Amino acid sequence: MAAGYTEEHEIIITDRFNDLLASCAKTVKKEEEWELIRKAFFLAKEAHKGVLRRSGEPYILHPIAVAKIVVDEIGLGAKSVAAALLHDVVEDTEYTVEEIETIFGEKIAYMVDGLTKMAGVVNSDTSKQAAYFRKVLLTLSDDVRVILIKIADRLHNMRTMASMPRDKQIKISSETLYLFAPLAYRLGLYAIKTELEDLSLKYRYPEQYFEIADKLNATEHDRLEFIERFIAPIRQRLHESGIDCTIVGRVKSVFSIWSKMQRKGIAFEDIYDLFAIRIVFKPTELIPEKSQCWHIYSLITDIYPPKPDRIRDWVNFPKANGYEALHATVMGPNGVWAEVQIRSERMEEIAERGFAAHWKYKQEHSSEDEFDKWLKEVKNALKGPTDDAVEFLDNVRLTLYTSEIVAFTPKGEPRKMPQGATVLDFAYNIHTNLGNKAIGAKVNHKIESIYETLKNGDQVEIITSDNATPSLEWLEHVTTAKAKQSITTYLKRSRENNVERGIELFDRKMREFGIKPSARVFRKVLPAYECSNKDEFYSKLGSGIINLDSVDKVLRQNSMSKVLKFWDIQLTKPFKSGKDSTTLLVGNNSNDSNAPKFVIAEDCNPIPGDEIVGYRNPETNTIVVHKAGCEEVTRLASQHGENIVSSIKWSSYKAESYLAEVEIRGIDRIGILVDLSQVITVELGINIRELAIQSHDGIFEGKVSVYVKDTENLNALMKSVDNIKGIEKVKRIL
């Protein structure tokens, strides 16, 4: 470390700080606030004196950049700027929180302390990561600024990550996508959330990122021309109606396009809604804003016909993060669908600045709103017991990153729920005891299962029974963190009794066979009953989830009932770690007994030809092969980035058969099933594992599970099936 900065460094530092001060002029007015910012800058500069970032820049430029994001892109004030300038001082230098409090006061010291603790999220193992994340999120209700500054810190780190090693880029970008982008979304920072997603994609899958970015650039001229043609009649109609507004076109982000391509299995050229039109109006004082939104909607639909099922009413039912707008999809020129977003200037500021703007406008209203309810929900969830760090992080994430629906109680009270929520989620949303006793529901006055998925606008009345209790199966049918936590807490409470009962039942059964329970017995029993350990087996047995009717057959088997398919690997040099640049080849035989084995991930089931990423399990010396866009590998990379193997590809593989699943839809006719079987089995010689078709109202839909050699083989099948008369849609789903 050098004794100080060079003259050139000093000039750059001064210029950047002056730029920050110019930005602060929009929010900082009092002289004591200016003094606070200057004092924080000079202390941070002295503390980080001579330290350079990996890029070669003076380290002090990082906190200055974070402070500028805090002002320009989030809209916070002087204390937040000071905390941003000081956010690494306690962590990286000899200064203490107590010294910061003495110099700057309790509030800034509190924020710096929270930011210092937050650093543990990125520098520790999964258990510590969960503990740190829980502790910092608990500060949400006390001072959300801690999280907002940390998001600004993460954004600047992502913007300047080019000089980082590849394995660090993968870990940090995966963690950003897994935790920080959802946090930014939930706090209403849409622009930051979008940039974090795009940067994560850029560093995780650079080829796909630049391919989409290049295609967007290549089509920009035609797209801008179409947007102007689309906007012109709207602009004229609104002007004639005396509405003061601005209208702009917004292109979808690279990440959202990539996600849609992955989710729907389509090419870039098949995505029709690449842009949205945003209308921001200056409200008239005498008319409520929501009424003006609907008035503008009616004027637009006089010009372009709307798509009825694509109206999103967030003016009557704002999102939990405070977002308000009216979204509609309309048919534009040349038969092109386009999304139109309608919002007031106040709604626009909240959409752009998120929580900071929301809080400013909230001062005018003292009543509790959706954002306050969400903060309370998060705090309660974080106080709940959980032993599993990964489960904790997943549950927190559930409260962050979901589309929303509105369901109603029998008395008409609206309840916001994540899209995909079930009757059981709704019951727990009302009250934990109601969820624990639920046996069914009347949804829109029709009897439905507790597993029924709710739709926007459903009215739900929960049916209960005193004899009902939560079961392990319930966890597979809920999506909200509150429901998962409530069920888990109940099951853990009753688990001890179940384990004792399970031990008694198993011992009794083994005595009937004259067998003493041993490690050899459990090596057969546990996988047969899909249990990972003895406690899980005893608990399931004691609670009645599994029984011992067929245990004698299990014990007679010479091997496990569930066998994973392994592949050897061939390396050009010895395997070292995820940081090694050696390309690993899936599918070749190796005589090296020390070489790790490959196992295909069952959740995404990649086949030769798919882009793949590996996760090395250091305990079993295996590498689990996932599809590149798999959600599970994103989660693993965010917490164990050092074990991600990115240099991995299929070898010149043998003629193996791999399971794939295809979804089909079309117009029903006599003989369609025969034609489908003929094409797949006779013409293509592909083996069908399962074929399930349902027909209703002249439309059929279903799934076909087949064994294929690779993606080329699968694509040929999909193309041939697509050519069958009546087939309207063919899509790979596994």
Catalytic residues: 91-92
313 touches 297 (CB < 8 A):
no
Provide the token pair at 570: 């061939």
| β partners of residue 730 | 664
Distance CA 512, CA 418 (A): 50
Cα 289 from Cα 324, distance rounded (Å):
10
The CB-side HSE value for 726 (13 A sphere, CA atoms) comes to 16
Parallel/antiparallel/unpaired status of strands 275-281 and 337-344: parallel
Helix (H) or strand (E) holding 438: strand 438-443
Which pair of structure tokens corresponds to residue 379?
């705090």
- Residues with Cβ < 8 Å from 587, sequence gap 6 or more? 567, 608, 650, 651, 652, 653, 654, 656
Query: In sequence order, what are the beta bridge partners of 586?
Result: 569, 650
CA gap 681, 695 in Å, rounded: 22
Measured CA to CA, the distance from residue 722 to residue 703 in angstroms comes to: 14
Determine the distance from the C-alpha atom of residue 198 to the mean position of all C-alpha atoms in its chain, rounded to a whole number: 13
Nearest to 116 by CA among 135, 143, 103, 130: 135
Alpha helices in 467-619 (DSSP H): 481-513, 519-528, 534-543, 551-556
Cβ of 174: how many Cβ atoms within 10 Å? 23
Angstrom CA distances, 530 to 527, 560, 570, stand at: 5, 11, 31
3-state secondary structure 388-422: CHHHHHHHHHHCCCCCEEEEECCCCCEEEEECCCE
Give me the helices (H) in 25-60, please. Answer: 31-47
3-state helix, strand, coil in the chain (%, to 5): 50, 15, 30
Phi, psi of 389 (to 5 degrees): -65, -40
Non-local CB neighbours of 33 within 8 Å, separated by 6+ positions: 77, 78
Report strand pairing: 584-586 vs 648-650. Answer: parallel
The angle, 0 to 180 degrees and rounded to 10, between the axes of the packed helices 78-85 and 31-47 is 10
Rounded distance, CA 597 to CA 593, Å?
A: 10
Residue whose token pair is 């069908």: 688
Question: Three-state DSSP class for 466?
Answer: coil
DSSP letter for 449, please. Answer: -
Integer-rounded Cα Rg, in Å, for the chain is: 29
**Residue 11 parent element (H or E):** helix 7-24
Inter-residue contact 599 to 624 (CB < 8 Å): yes
Measured at the CA of 407, the angle between CA 699 and CA 423, to 5 degrees, comes to 75
Neighbouring residues of 285: CB distance < 8 A, sequence distance ≥ 6:
none
